[in-house]
Structure 1
Amino acid sequence: MRVLVTGATGLIGQSVCARLAADGHVVLGASRSARPPAFGAVSRWIRVDFGQADDPDLWRPHLEGVEAVVNCVGVLQDNAREDTTAAHAGGAAALFRACAAAGIRRVVHFSAIGVDRQQASAFSASKLEGDRALMALDLDWVILRPSVVLGGPVFGASALIRGLAVLPVLPVMPETGPLQVVALEDVVETVAFVVQPDRPARLALELAGPERLSFAEVVALHRVWLGWRPARTLALPRWAAGLLYRLGDLAGRLGWRPPLRSTARREIRHGAVGDPGPWTQITGIRPRSLAEALRARPASVQERWFAGLYPIKPVLFVVLVLFWTLTAVISLTTGFENGLELMHRARTGALAGPGVVAGALADLAIGLAIAWRPTARRGLWAAIGLSCFYIVAGTLLLPELWNEPLGPLLKIWPILVAHFVALAILDER
């Protein structure tokens, strides 16, 4: 068949695309990403932002010849770049109406487990709204409501679990419910089954694992899988957990996507549990336990690298932002006279004062650019360029700085390396 997969660059979407292509389907991928993968299972990429695609007419040109649609779009929380209601309700409803108008009967839609029982946040409320928009149409729809999905690719909560697994002391959040985590491979197998036109339709299935685990138990199993000794646990007080969630919200307002945000706090209180019985009865798929799924995928050195780098990433970016912004503040305040002295030593004459101010403003611009996710990459490259300029200018104008005991020019080199590391681990997916 010719299948359109929306959210095709996400954790579930990219694996669905690979599986459908392997089954012989022609896969069209829709994503808001400006840079879709150059190589992969998708025959044609369509750039569509669900948050702005609330008109069915916008979808109809992309549905020509399509026989089935799999909607994998999902965002955790409203921020500067994402709108849960627009993505889960408005954009999804427009897509579903366009499918009905185009005569596309088979629509597979990813929701979230438990949204029909309680709506703890805008995430679950908007997911339920999208479900209802689909169920109201005369289509052969299948709604899949997975629990926390874990597999080879990692993003969001699945990445957080691996990052926490590296810590010798595991911080345990208060008020967290049980989890019936589900293997990504079982989820993808389900899509391959229900996307077929002769399969049962007009049903909602909960995709949940066979066992209930605490969050700490999920992390502990991953730590064993990575080959490390069991970690000690540390129960975080509520005020500390609240601070982490608020810091996550702040990062979200700057365009980043940390898994620890207030939406996660509200959703995790109820856990992620459900009844996998109807799923198995209809599809014949027996969901694997987490231990079974991990045993089927031995951990590689790349897995251990990712786990080790994950908790370092936010620290690295905070340090770089503080480095550039505080350098600017110091240059314009308490360190201004020292800056003038250096400029006079370099014989810059009347350019001394403006030179110090210009350097401080450049530092400030770089710090702010790195802090704002949409401009972080450009900010890092600007930091590398400015650091190289400082090395060249310092060597030409004040070569004696290479012999200074505090090494002002020598220290630029590890700073450069830190920026290249930040570039290497910048992408989330």
Structure 2
Amino acid sequence: MNVLIVGGTGFVGTHLTRCLLQKGHRVQVLSRQGTGLVSGARYIRGNAATGEGLAPAMKDAEAVIYLVAIIRERGDQTFQQAIVEGTRNTLEAARAAGVRRYLHMSALGAARGTGSRYFEAKAEAEERVRDSGLDWTIFRPSLIFGEGDDFFGGVLRGLVQGGSQNGLWYPPLPVIPLIGDGHFPFRPVWVGDVSEAFAQALEKPQTIGQTYELVGPQEYTFRELVLRVRDALGSRKPLLPIPIFLMDLALPLLSRIPGFPLTLDQYRMLKVGNTAEPTAMRQVFDLEWRSLEMELPIILKKSAHLAAG
């Protein structure tokens, strides 16, 4: 099958491109740079947020996968542009080209009225997908872990070790700051399982018109995730819980500091957690369901190498 991935040069997109190629699909990737790392894929310059390059990229496509998203707004890259406008432009281009099959990356927790602009944008994009008239499938993953991820290899590593991680600065402290008691639940999912779910959906007509929550085999509190990263790094730093009411007061000001590692939007999402039951996912997709413990040493070793380089 000829598959067009819109926004396929990031963490998930790179893994998914390799997965699709291994299964014999022909893969084109639309990205703003027009270049990528996966041998065998064809990279095309374009910008979903403006619509640039979408029409010619759709020419030979039989299915479209939309992955474009940002977790942090920077300059002119906003949630509205990357998530909502990019989705709208891609759907319109697919309809104009007669491409029926459409797979969409959303996020677990996407909903109206959450107070998170990220979740609001994801919810609006989902609405556009459902109203598109295409043969759509929506995926809502929890935190995605794997080689090259920004959360375990960046955010949590930064909390434990301090220093610069992915362009953000984490102060090197003798303690590890923790939001409240860290009881917020998460059920992270391996990027290989996310990629496999997308790939299998292309072959499963029963997934058309369905939304699937993608989660891993175990639920953790945020505190447990921090401790697992700390232990994997060989650190013995104690945790320092910071009361929620202090975070609520301080973060609106701290988040305005350039390079501060936590935005107000991310803070709101952390406080509600990110978990779901895996029943529907497990009934449809045949996944390895790899554990966080299996991948964490690889993630941290890779992120240390990138930081050193």
TM norm. shorter chain > 0.5: yes
Q: Match for residue 31 of structure 1?
A: 31
Q: CA RMSD in A?
A: 2.8
Alignment of 1:209 with 2:204, yes or no, is no
Show structure 1 runs of 5+ residues with no match: 310-420, 425-429
CA deviations over 1:247-300 (Å, ceiling 9, x no partner) = 44442xxxx6x65111101111211111211011111326333224447x4864
Change (3 A) 1:137 1:36: same
Identity %: 27
- The CA distance in 2 between the partners of 1:109 and 1:276, in whole Å, is 19
Per the alignment, in what secondary structure is the counterpart of residue 66 of structure 1?
Answer: coil
Does the 8 Å contact 2:107/2:142 carry over to 1? yes
- The CA distance in 2 between the partners of 1:229 and 1:162, in whole Å, is 11
Does the 8 Å contact 1:172/1:236 carry over to 2? yes
Q: Match for residue 122 of structure 2?
A: 127
Q: Match for residue 41 of structure 1?
A: 39
Q: Match for residue 287 of structure 2?
A: 285
Between Structure 1 and Structure 2, which shows a larger proportion of strand residues? 2
CA deviations over 1:66-118 (Å, ceiling 9, x no partner) = 11111111112444131111221122012112212222122110001021475
1:314-353 map, 5 Å: none
Q: Match for residue 115 of structure 1?
A: 110
Change (3 A) 1:230 1:202: farther
- The CA distance in 1 between the partners of 2:158 and 2:118, in whole Å, is 24
- The CA distance in 2 between the partners of 1:175 and 1:10, in whole Å, is 32
Per the alignment, in what secondary structure is the counterpart of residue 197 of structure 2?
Answer: helix
CA deviations over 1:330-356 (Å, ceiling 9, x no partner) = xxxxxxxxxxxxxxxxxxxxxxxxxxx
- The CA distance in 2 between the partners of 1:157 and 1:120, in whole Å, is 24
- The CA distance in 2 between the partners of 1:118 and 1:244, in whole Å, is 21
Q: 1:137 aligns with which of 132, 151, 175?
A: 132
Between Structure 1 and Structure 2, which shows a larger proportion of helix residues? 1
CA deviations over 1:113-159 (Å, ceiling 9, x no partner) = 02147533211111111111111122221100011111111225652
TM norm structure 1: 0.62
Show structure 2 runs of 5+ residues with no match: 163-173
Q: 2:275 aligns with which of 273, 276, 297?
A: 273
Q: Letter of the 1:121 partner, please give it.
A: S
Q: Match for residue 11 of structure 1?
A: 11
Q: Match for residue 100 of structure 1?
A: 95
Q: Letter of the 1:268 partner, please give it.
A: L
Q: 2:263 aligns with which of 246, 261, 265?
A: 261
Per the alignment, in what secondary structure is the counterpart of residue 51 of structure 1?
Answer: coil
Q: Match for residue 21 of structure 2?
A: 21
CA deviations over 1:157-190 (Å, ceiling 9, x no partner) = 6521223343662210238521111111111111
Q: Match for residue 148 of structure 2?
A: 153
Change (3 A) 1:189 1:282: same
The higher relative CO (CA closer than 8 Å, separation ≥ 6) is in 2
Q: Match for residue 383 of structure 1?
A: none
Q: Match for residue 236 of structure 1?
A: 242
Alignment of 1:188 with 2:187, yes or no, is no
Per the alignment, in what secondary structure is the counterpart of residue 70 of structure 1?
Answer: strand
Q: 2:232 aligns with which of 225, 228, 233?
A: 225
- The CA distance in 2 between the partners of 1:118 and 1:213, in whole Å, is 25
Q: 2:58 aligns with which of 40, 58, 63?
A: 63
- The CA distance in 2 between the partners of 1:19 and 1:182, in whole Å, is 16
Per the alignment, in what secondary structure is the counterpart of residue 120 of structure 1?
Answer: coil
TM norm structure 2: 0.84
Q: What is the total number of aligned residue pairs between the two structures? A: 296
